[in-house]
Structure 1
């Protein structure tokens, strides 16, 4: 109930600010024309970020205008952090944890398999349990200010069904980050394949399965044409698409403008997350009814087997040398105890 009240209050704040701030800002506010590049294709960029860009413009009284660009339109995805740090890009949307080797604390935000049971738990951990502050400290070292945006789940589609933990052993799968680490401990081999090459790799048998968000993004990528099995529950709940803003630009904003950008981002991101959930439900239904995809729901005893390698990964991070990552895992462990999932 507390979580529900918190997120309802966040949404109400956004709508109230939408209605009042734009007409109350002084005419002498500094003006900005900004460029935001996303890691998503153009259509998904528009769907996920247009509300944010329009909201910031309206709430700032037209002082802040944001133009949206899809993946690779200005700089290659792998260069995005550096581009925002240097000011080549003003703002970027990125998948949390993409630079986890550079910013180890972001590993937790990639979505650790079989930790959170729903997205509400993931949102609360990010926004209310101290993880956001640790993330910002990690990103600040690279001259960027980080803002949480949209949480989502990570699904898994395969050619052969996954009905038990042992079924993953021997599979060759497209994966990276926390998912690749977890799959490796279950005996799967993994390889990183760019999105533009992934469908061909699946169709030709280079790999026999992949994760790419959950059912909605997978449907857009046409996984259902070549993969006929969808695992339930989704292995990882609580991965994030977030924003980074050039820190020098952030300092140029007035306090009111910083509040506008951040409040709008969090509110619109949560709305985008809800919209994505509906799209994913509809997409999975179409996969099942129109493309003969089978949903394989694992029993609790198999889920327990899959949680064990996840716990091993978390212990490895706790034993690591990065102080922010260790603190983040401590926060997560305390949160899991509060929820009654661990002792």
Structure 2
């Protein structure tokens, strides 16, 4: 009898394991792709300590200052993962409002309003006098689940990126969790929308997690970070054509912040994970791995990397914090003699002397 019980217990364990690893629904549908060659953190990206000297401006109980916008008076504005809106004067921060949702990309428009890409609510417009206005929360009958970064134009239109049309960060527990799911699945549903008073039009599509966008100084093109393919595009707005200007990055590009002089700060939110690149052609294996406990799945590496590029994709400088002194870096902007650095998960806004 004891042997029979042992046999039944073992058979039950095997049956449960087979169901868990092979049959249990995962909610994702990975596709095959080919990852570009990883150059590694060498050459231009060789580790340095330039970002390790950063100071962190306290945000109290809030964290995740994902983006920063600068108004006409050179005052910075930052949001948090908890939806707080903060004003930044030099090295001092003060909270101004609670916006709700999960605001990501921020940029002031020519009308002086703050335009916000909110990953839960779509494209928003905020002013101190009028508060919040929802400009767009759906497109062609489908909710905008993951608005990411925003670029208001001088003509009053607003471009914004939608990272994925498949995964809702509010349902999945946040933007980081939803981004990991979408990158692992790799179905290329990211796109760029343009808002005007007349409604929304699609500007570009077919990206693996569309992320940062920025208009060129002439406003004739958009620079677009495609996080899942480790590259940056230049999309011509007149012709609708696009070309890769920077490919094969050693990490995941995030926000693109126009400095106003034809250069751009680009955050590298994490170095690459070799296992993800090796498994790119094998969607079935990726599906199996997704059935494993979350604790053993690939995760972002907490190592700070920030780069500055020109409009042609030439890398001008790279700042790093190899030990994660400031990590999950999303972007940056220079204001006067200070460089503000943003992060998906840091306890406050990074600030240092401008390089």
Relative to the length of structure 2, the TM-score reads 0.25
Q: Greater RCO between the two (CA within 8 Å, min separation 6)?
A: 1
Could you say which structure has the higher strand fraction?
2
Could you say which structure has the higher helix fraction?
1
- Larger Rg over CA atoms: 2
Relative to the length of structure 1, the TM-score reads 0.26
